[in-house]
Amino acid sequence: FIGREMPMSTALEQLAATLKTDASQLSGLGSLDATQIATLNTLIETAQQKQRQILSDAIDEGLSYVPALLRGAVKAIVRG
């Protein structure tokens, strides 16, 4: 879509995929254009990535308090 605007349906589908929902659930965003929805999608993806990194860092920090002998088992349980 270089040089032209992304279709509204494509932008909504991408946002729905990011939010793990159906595009029909996003009908309230109809007042936004495709560029605004794409920007929102990018912001949400960035926030989700930061959230995953913060959670991972917190788990690693918490594991530092677990005795080394148990750390592997606890890590497997916590990380799934």
Is the predicted pLDDT of residue 39 greater than 60, yes or no? Answer: yes
Weakest mean pLDDT among 6-15, 16-25, 47-56: 6-15
Question: What share of the chain in percent tops pLDDT 90?
Answer: 81
Contact 36, 50 (CB under 8 A): no
How far is residue 2's CA from residue 11's CA, in Å, rounded to a whole number? Answer: 14
pLDDT of residue 8: 82
Indicate the pLDDT class of residue 5, thresholds 50, 70 and 90.
Answer: low
Average pLDDT over residues 11-20: 95
- What's this model's pTM, rounded to 2 decimal places? 0.76
